[in-house]
A and B are shown apart, each in its own frame.
Chain A
Amino acid sequence: MSKILLPLRVLEDESLSPGLIGLLAPADVVVLGYYRVPDQTPPGAAREQFGDRAQSRLDDVAAALRDAGATVETRMVFTGEVEQTIARTAAEADADAVVHPGSAMQVEDVLVPLVGRPDLAAVAEFVASLVAERDIDVTTFALDDDLTAADVTAALADAGVDADQLTAADGPGGGPVDAIASVAAEYDAIVMGEPEPSLTEWVFGELEDRVATESLGPVFVVRARE
């Protein structure tokens, strides 16, 4: 069973869509409720004011996931640096993936663009656990020159994804974000590897965030472990 970290801005009413709850049902979920504290505010002051309300929202989300069948832990963090908090909690929980919640009524197909570190096996394994025993189509394309469509399908098949569910498409070309963005809206969810830090990552912010903005549905980012 894969372990998934689900960061959620609980105080701003960020909530879970039915499609995502369905996808997470068989998983081990760590719900990370967080509140972004402005630089002017001591985190302790925000906790004093909002702590109870945040905790009760977080408990509601956890209850919804438990009802769907997931194993749930919760954590509540008041933070000035959201990225740092997500990275820390993901490492502490030893999560396989982090999900940007997005919204989907029902998940019938998943896009698996392969970018970033060559952690093909980890991504394939995660995809396999996500779609196991469900009627979800997997479409994949490689955006890396070193990978062929055959490599990708082979890895997914090895991990246990049914050949009937699998489609290997040609990459639409262009940079990774443009390529993903141009087709993202057509799929209910996206699974990708953790982006490698690069210059554009520094300048334009996290690749995964941009993908999450472009796609409407949930985006799973499989963590690169050392």
Chain B
Amino acid sequence: MGTEEPPSPTGENRAGEEPSAAPVGETTDEATVTDEGVELERTIGLVGGLAIGVGTMIGAGIFVFPGLAAEEAGPAAAASYAIGGVIALLVALPASELATAMPRSGGGYYFISRSLGSLPGAIVGISLWLGLVFASSFYLVGFGSYAVELLGRAGVSLSWPVPPTVALGLVFGALLTGMSFTGTENTAKLQNGVVALLLVILSVFLGYGGLDAVGVFGTSSTPETFSPFGFAPVFTTAALVFTSYLGFAQVATVAGEIKKPGRNLPLAMVGSVLLVTVFYVATIFVATSAFGSKALGKFGETAMVEVAGEFFGLPGVIAILIAGLLATVSSANASIMSSSRAVYALSRDALLPKKAGSVNLKYGTPHVALALAGVPVLLLVASGQTEVLAEVASFLHLVMYGLICVALFQMRRNAPDWYDPDFRVPAYRAVAGVGAVASFGLIAFMQRLSQVIGVALMIAAAAWYYYYARDVSLKGVL
């Protein structure tokens, strides 16, 4: 931290509430100490940080998208994933630098509101909240697909008036939100365990499948044309599957709780992106060599189950079904929790009513923020639109990612005294410049409906800011 005391946020919102005075007096490796001497313990280590990143991402990338992506782009879907991975990495580096300079809860919202001001901050904060809501609904629809597939294979066929995928997604979404109200213990440890189990299952599966595909066992599969539909679908598919890379920024939303933030934040963000990129590319390679991309597309959201069946028979099917259920549900849960943290960060800065961040006396949980995340999730799950949900989630995140890169330029150029990151991006102009262009550019490849919804939500966010919190000033403060 710099020697000079950074200024505090000023102004008030329509309800006359002011941003809470910056509580931070000192940031140590193990705690944040407020200026009144109250300590906030940092409890998430490197493994926990990686688990948040990987756990949020892997559910979508491996268990939902491969079929949809292969149908659109053929085996070149692997390139789509690689493009997504490169963009994510280009944003993860600037995000790491900003997070080590400002290791506070709120992630991208926090950096952008502090470096670019409260209007971009409000738009990004509200986009982050809603983007995570869209992402979470998308994961729950994926969960529903796996649950229906599991029941189907067990011989249970559901003939309900509503699509069973949606119904099961709704039930689990309600369950997750309900559980988070009452304050569960050890969800973090559970998350670590789930992620470890997933990585083991996937490593075995991809290792064997990969060797098989190159012809170590039996006959080598005949490779189909790499990009049967040309190169344009590679980019539209990249825009679709980018939802598989939203998790690294969730590490930054809990930056205030990460131990040794100077070291662990960059490692967790960059590490989780690299790890999932490798898994994604390998998955597409294995999946497209087991079946042709057309067949994969027909299997839809649960294509991976068929692929596992091809290699390992029934045990493989069961393993991937269980892994898919765990992965999608843990992604959904992590996103609801991150979304409620975004709401808290906004209410702390008076961009949303203070009530939104209040903590329940009985359970000690932020019940209003959780409801603001959980209830819209259920409404969106009911729509059952996998691809649109995913793209709107990506849209809202990509806007934030682009602005994170812009924020890095701003901070490097007009560095305030307190700006002293432990991690500095090498060649930051190139990294953040390409990162920003690529993030905004990817939006152009989305479906028209997703773009319209995304733009409408951003305009609504800006309108809210002008109506409710125009006088709040956050730029350049801590």
Q: Which residues of A are in contact with B by a Cβ distance under 8 Å? A: 35-51, 55, 75-81, 84-85, 88
Contacts and interface: CB of A to CB of B under 8 A. Distances in A.
Contacts of B31: 77, 88
Given A51-B38, A76-B37, A40 B340 contact: yes
Contacts of B185: 38-39
Most chain A Cβ neighbours within 10 Å, of B34, B40, B183: B40
Contact of B184 (A37, A40, A85): A40
Nearest to B41: A79
B359 A78 contact: no
Given A47-B38, A49-B359, A77-B41, A42 B341 contact: yes
Interface of B: 20, 23, 30-32, 34, 36-41, 43, 105, 180, 183-188, 254, 256-257, 337, 340-341, 344, 348, 357-359, 363-366, 370
Contacts of B43: 79-81, 84
Given A39-B185, A78-B41, A44 B364 contact: no
Given A45-B344, A78-B41, A80-B43, A40 B105 contact: no
A78 B188 contact: no
B20 A48 contact: yes
Nearest to A39: B187
A42 B105 contact: yes
A41 to B, nearest CB: 5
Nearest to B181: A40
B174 to A, nearest CB: 16
Contact of A41 (B34, B36, B366): B366
B20 to A, nearest CB: 6
Nearest to A48: B20
27 contacts: A35-B364, A38-B364, A40-B184, A40-B337, A41-B183, A41-B365, A42-B341, A43-B32, A43-B41, A43-B257, A44-B32, A45-B344, A45-B358, A47-B40, A48-B23, A49-B358, A49-B359, A55-B38, A75-B37, A75-B39, A77-B31, A77-B38, A77-B40, A78-B39, A78-B41, A81-B41, A88-B41
Nearest to B179: A40
B23 A44 contact: yes
Contact of A48 (B186, B357, B365): B357
Contacts of A50: 359
Given A39-B183, A77-B40, A79-B41, 17 more contacts: A36-B364, A37-B364, A38-B184, A39-B184, A40-B184, A40-B365, A45-B348, A45-B358, A47-B34, A47-B40, A50-B359, A76-B37, A77-B31, A77-B39, A78-B38, A78-B41, A81-B43
9 closest pairs, A vs B, by CB? A38-B183, A79-B41, A43-B40, A49-B359, A80-B43, A77-B39, A81-B43, A39-B187, A40-B365
Contacts of B254: 42
A84 B359 CA distance: 23
Contacts of A78: 38-41
Contacts of A45: 344, 348, 357-359, 366
Contact of A51 (B32, B36, B357, B366): B36
Nearest to B186: A39
Nearest to B183: A38
B30 A88 contact: yes
Contacts of B344: 42, 44-45
Given A48-B357, A77-B31, A84-B41, A42 B23 contact: no
A42 B42 CA distance: 11
B162 to A, nearest CB: 29
A76 B30 CA distance: 14
Contacts of A35: 364
A40 B177 CA distance: 11
A57 B40 CA distance: 18
A44 B41 contact: no
B183 A44 contact: no
A8 B20 CA distance: 27
Contacts of B20: 48
Contacts of B186: 39
Nearest to A50: B359
A50 B362 CA distance: 12
Contacts of A75: 37, 39
A38 B365 contact: yes
A40 B366 contact: yes
Contacts of B366: 40-42, 45
Nearest to B30: A88
Nearest to A47: B38
B47 to A, nearest CB: 14
Contacts of B37: 75-76
Contacts of A80: 41, 43, 188, 257
B183 A76 contact: no
Nearest to A80: B43
**Which residue among B23, B39, B187, B254 has the maximum number of chain A CB atoms within 10 Å of its CB?**
B39
B360 to A, nearest CB: 9
Contacts of A48: 20, 23, 348, 357, 359
Nearest to A74: B37
Given A47-B34, A48-B20, A84-B41, A41 B359 contact: yes
B65 to A, nearest CB: 28
Given A76-B38, A77-B41, A79-B41, A43 B358 contact: no
